[in-house]
């Protein structure tokens, strides 16, 4: 199994872009070390606690981009009002430095695993899934991939162009967008929570892996569905954000 030992390094913010009112994309370039990771892994950011100067705290953020030769990586940050980590990261401006320890996590696809994929995400849980999809697309992967991505309202959607482009490159993939609280009349996608659409998926449990990322409650429900459908628990990979 591939293991990359985590290490601490500094990285410079090179690009910051709001994807909607509450989600921001942050691109970092490592400056004092080479950084390697596997698609689906996460980084810990370390920063000073504003409420207790000289006390450092850490928060985990999945890497939203496939590995690149130059080590640059993207985070997809949900802004939590008064949240320490998200307020810190969102306060950074281009050329600011941040301290990371990375990579961590097991939510990556082993090179020998050629199983089909069902990937389920809510909100910023799409971050590691986007990284994995980009990595698969870079490798011209042809397995069957179904992605279920849910947010509350149309205004909360993001990465639409990126996901559409990935679905075109990954020839046997489909992306289902669903709104739990549809708010625009023009919405002609799916409605309801991601879990409401699991039954519509056709898959062979013996050759399918599940990747589930986002809030714990949704993950529990999807995991139960997958287990009932006959997916082996070693083929269910989760990243719980809360
Ligand atoms: C492995 C892993 C990967 C993660 N990847 C990402 C990622 O890619 N993008 C991302 O945005 N986050 C990600 N998270 C969540 C992230 O680590 C933080 O928990 C999140 O940013 C909130 O931290 P904070 O310091 O801003 O808020 P805190 O200061 O920890 O919390 C402030 C208040 O907000 C509440 N709160 C915390 N999280 C939420 C939430 N999601 N919604 C509503 N209220 C909340 C808390 O209960 C608390 O009351 C990941 C977590 C894990 C464990």
Query: What are the structure tokens assigned to 195, written together?
Result: 């879990």
| Domain-located, residue 109 | no
The CA dihedral of 204, 205, 207, 210, to the nearest 10 degrees, is 120
Q: How many helices (H) and strands (E) does the chain have?
A: 4, 12
* CB-defined site of ligand 1, < 6 Å: 42, 59-62, 76-78, 80, 82-86, 124, 127, 239, 241-242
* Residue among 99, 136, 108, 64 nearest 211 (CA): 108
- Do both 121 and 233 map to the same domain? yes
pTM exceeds 0.95: yes
Atom 15, ligand 1: residue with shortest CA distance: 241
Query: Mean pLDDT per 10-residue run, the chain (242 residues)?
Result: 92 98 98 96 97 95 98 98 97 98 96 97 98 98 98 97 98 97 89 96 98 97 98 98 94
Cβ atoms 214, 241 nearer than 8 A = yes
Pocket test for ligand 1, best of 27, 48, 59 (most atoms within 8 A of CB): 59
**Amino acid 160: pLDDT:** 97
**Any idea what the CATH number is for the domain that residue 92 is in?**
2.40.30.10
SS3 call for 24: strand
| Domain-located, residue 25 | yes
Atom of ligand 1 nearest to the CA of 105: 1
CA dist., res. 73 & res. 13, Å (int): 10
SS3 call for 43: strand
**How many domains is the chain partitioned into structurally?**
2
Q: Which residue has the tokens 């993939």?
A: 173
> How many angstroms is it from 115 CA to the middle of ligand 1?
31
Range of the domain at 28: 7-104
């Amino acid at each position: 199994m591939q293991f990359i030992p985590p290490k601490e390094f500094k990285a410079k913010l090179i690009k910051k872009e709001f994807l909607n009112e509450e989600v921001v994309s942050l691109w970092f370039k490592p400056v004092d070390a080479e950084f390697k990771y596997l698609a689906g892994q996460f980084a810990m950011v370390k920063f000073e606690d504003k409420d207790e100067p000289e006390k450092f705290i850490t928060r985990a953020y999945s890497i939203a981009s496939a590995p690149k030769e130059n080590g640059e990586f993207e985070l997809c940050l949900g802004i939590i009002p008064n949240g320490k980590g998200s307020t810190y990261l969102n306060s950074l401006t281009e050329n600011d430095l941040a301290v990371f320890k990375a990579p961590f996590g097991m939510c990556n696809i082993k090179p020998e695993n050629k199983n089909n994929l069902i990937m389920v995400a809510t909100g910023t849980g799409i971050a590691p899934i986007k990284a994995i999809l980009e990595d698969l697309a870079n490798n011209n992967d042809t397995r069957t991939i179904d992605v279920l991505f849910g947010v509350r309202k149309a205004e909360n959607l993001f990465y639409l162009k990126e996901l559409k482009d990935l679905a075109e490159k990954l020839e046997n993939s489909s992306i289902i967008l669903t709104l739990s609280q549809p708010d625009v009349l023009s919405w002609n996608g799916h409605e309801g929570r991601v879990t409401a659409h699991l039954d519509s998926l056709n898959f062979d449990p013996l050759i399918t892996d599940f990747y589930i990322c986002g809030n714990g409650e949704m993950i529990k429900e999807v995991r139960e569905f997958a287990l009932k459908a006959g997916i082996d628990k070693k083929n269910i990979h989760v990243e719980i954000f809360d």
